Amino acid sequence: MGLFSRGSSTTAVAPPPIPSSVTPSLATPRPAPSISISTAAAETAPQTPQLTERQLYLQKTRVRIHQQLVERLDMQNLRTMPQDVVRQEVRNLIRDICQSEKNLFSSAEQETLMDQVMDETFGLGPLEALLKDPAISDILVNRWDRVYIERRGRIELSDVAFRDNQHLRQIIDRIVAQVGRRIDEVSPMADARLPDGSRVNAIIPPLALDGPAMSIRRFGSKPLAAEDLVRHGACPQEVIEFLAAAVRARCNVLISGGTGSGKTTLLNCLSRYIPNDERVITIEDAAELQLQQPHVVRLETRPANIEGKGEINQRDLVKNCLRMRPDRIVIGETRGGEALDMLQAMNTGHEGSMTTVHANAPRDALSRLEIMVLMAGYDIPMRALRTQIASAIQIIVQVRRITGGSRKVTSVSEIGGMEGENIQMHEIFSFEQSGVGTDGHAEGQFVCHGIMPRCLPRIENRGMTLGPELFERRIMKA
């Protein structure tokens, strides 16, 4: 076999004896917390499932097979052969090793063992099973033996676990290395992304006290469309029609919401209404936007190197992209001094730009923008700053994860200019929660407040017509 440096014939390897009882040295019991807790807290704390004797044996066998596989691989041939051929050859070798240990594995155990070794060799180890489940939206690794997942808006403890902290650290290093970044004691935090666009954040000791921790925010292989939001009850069709018209009419849109509320998902949906003949430049800390237009340039920040030099932040990219002749600028998330440059760009010919910000309400989003502009280091009079914001932004969309885990567009507001020292804003659509159902999910209704948007003439100048009945005061069906 040309793939392996040694002979292709597989020699039988004597398996370790199956223990008759789980001894402390073999079972490697999970470490108990060093801090004493109250009895009530101990009862409510989630219990990590203990491995059975058979599971411990299969785990040790999997590690040993993987070590043999690494020793037999010829890395020089590995780089020149097609990936599908490499995977098939490696799977054949794993099957030969498993068959040499006959009478120890059932057919189901052998297939499971082969899949796990393949995941360990070519993928992300124990995480591969979770990444293949499309219903999982978040993977939260608190420590090596405690992995939580979010499925359909509910967080639950999974039965997936790593072998130890070193195993978890190996997977983190593999993820970070794929995007050309590093994580070590000098730089113990890192942002990365998976090939499917999922966002990854990892942190290791000494900052993480219980060992390495990692969170993965997943994005589907097929981006959600606006029709999907309507079908899932996130907002009514009338709201999508108005937002689509506002995007096409080059209104500047600010999407506000908390962590995990669906800001990036909504931004991806609205970006579909950008015409294909416009040049769009995206700026992100970790690339996760999935714009479908052909004329898109994607920019990503860069952290400092090991010497503390070479950092490129979002503000640097915003300044640079203004020289790249963009029609629209899309910033994945505004969180610092780049807010000032973004507002100036919106006011100087780059209409139709969009961004997101962390805030709990539309009015809070404006307050956060004021603070972030001041973070740029300039002493700007408050009235001048608010006038700049009121002139730059036309639409604010608030999204929120409500009781039960579902995500909804809870408010669509329009900025109407200045009124004295304050920014004038009125709500066009909103979601009003009325209670919680027997299934634990929030209940409520979408309301149109009967206010005609000030941007309607702008929309009509672009050749689009929204009838007045769309904005009549009423309760809408989601």
All structural domains of the chain:
1-17+50-122 (no CATH), 123-221 (3.30.450.90), 226-476 (3.40.50.300)
Q: Are 420 and 440 in contact (CB under 8 A)?
A: no
Q: Tell me, what's the pLDDT at 48?
A: 52
CA 130 – CA 135 distance, rounded (Å): 9
DSSP string, 281-303: EEEESS-------SSEEEEE-B-
Cα-Cα-Cα-Cα dihedral of 150, 237, 257, 293, to 10°? Answer: 90
Two tokens, residue 124: 């992300």
Q: Tell me, what's the pLDDT at 104?
A: 63
CA 332 – CA 267 distance, rounded (Å): 8
Q: Tell me, what's the pLDDT at 3?
A: 47
| C-alpha 210: how far from chain center | 23
State phi, psi for 206 to the nearest 5 degrees. -85, -5
User: pTM (2 decimals)?
Assistant: 0.76
Q: Tell me, what's the pLDDT at 397?
A: 97
pLDDT digit string (tens) for the chain, length 478 residues: 444 444 444 444 444 444 433 333 333 444 444 444 444 444 444 555 566 776 777 777 777 776 766 666 665 566 566 767 777 777 777 777 677 765 566 677 777 777 777 777 778 988 998 998 888 989 999 999 999 999 887 899 998 889 899 999 999 999 999 888 889 988 899 988 888 888 899 999 999 999 999 999 987 667 788 888 999 889 999 999 999 999 999 999 999 999 888 898 899 999 999 999 999 999 998 778 888 888 999 999 988 887 778 889 999 999 999 999 999 999 999 999 999 999 999 998 899 999 999 999 999 999 999 999 999 888 899 999 999 999 999 999 999 999 888 899 999 999 999 998 999 999 999 999 888 888 888 889 999 999 999 999 999 999 999 988 999 999 987 6
Tokens 């044996």 identify what position?
57
